[in-house]
């Protein structure tokens, strides 16, 4: 099996200048844990739900909210993304994908074409769903 056989198609990505509230809403609406970040269509980074939990103040919309808490919402994707994410091609074998997951302790991989355009995503959930035991 190859990446193209198990990847999630119809990937939603965000632009480098998209703001955290919009990114958070996309993740919540679609129940995503990762979003690729693109610049002119090319993959330049990835944002995880863990990144958002780490960066967005827990005091937002609370009685104790202060200006510095709302300032965390003004950040753009390029300020918080993981740059130069590992990505694979559609022809990459599942064995190689598993190796990346284990070696780097990551939970998703973008799938890109020759022009570095995101064409799919593979998460550990995809691997489990297609596993044969």
Whole-number percent of the chain with pLDDT over 90: 65
pLDDT top residue among 43 and 52: 43
Q: State pLDDT tens for residues 45-77.
A: 999 998 888 877 677 777 777 777 777 778 899
In DSSP terms, which residues pair with 42 in a beta bridge? Answer: 39, 117
* pLDDT (mean) for 92-96: 94
* pLDDT (mean) for 21-35: 93
Residue 119 to residue 111: CA distance in whole angstroms: 6
Q: What's residue 90's pLDDT?
A: 96
Query: What is the number of structural domains in the chain?
Result: 1
What does the mean pLDDT of the chain come to?
90
Domain that holds residue 28: 3-129
List the CATH number of the domain containing 108: 3.10.580.10
For residue 43, count other CB atoms closer than 10 A to its CB: 22
Q: Is the dihedral of CA 86, 23, 75, 18 positive or negative?
A: positive
């Amino acid at each position: 099996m190859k990446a193209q056989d198990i990847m999630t198609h119809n990937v939603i990505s965000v632009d480098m200048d998209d703001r955290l509230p919009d990114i958070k809403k996309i993740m919540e609406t679609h129940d995503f844990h990762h979003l690729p970040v693109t610049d002119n269509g090319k993959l330049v980074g990835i944002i995880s739900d863990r990144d958002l939990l780490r960066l967005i103040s827990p005091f937002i919309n609370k009685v104790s909210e202060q200006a510095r808490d709302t300032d965390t919402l003004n950040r753009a994707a390029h300020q918080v993304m993981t740059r130069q994410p590992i990505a694979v091609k559609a022809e990459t074998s599942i064995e190689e994908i598993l190796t990346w997951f284990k070696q780097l302790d990551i939970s998703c991989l973008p799938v890109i074409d020759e022009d570095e355009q995101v064409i799919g995503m593979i998460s550990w959930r995809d691997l489990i769903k297609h596993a044969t035991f």
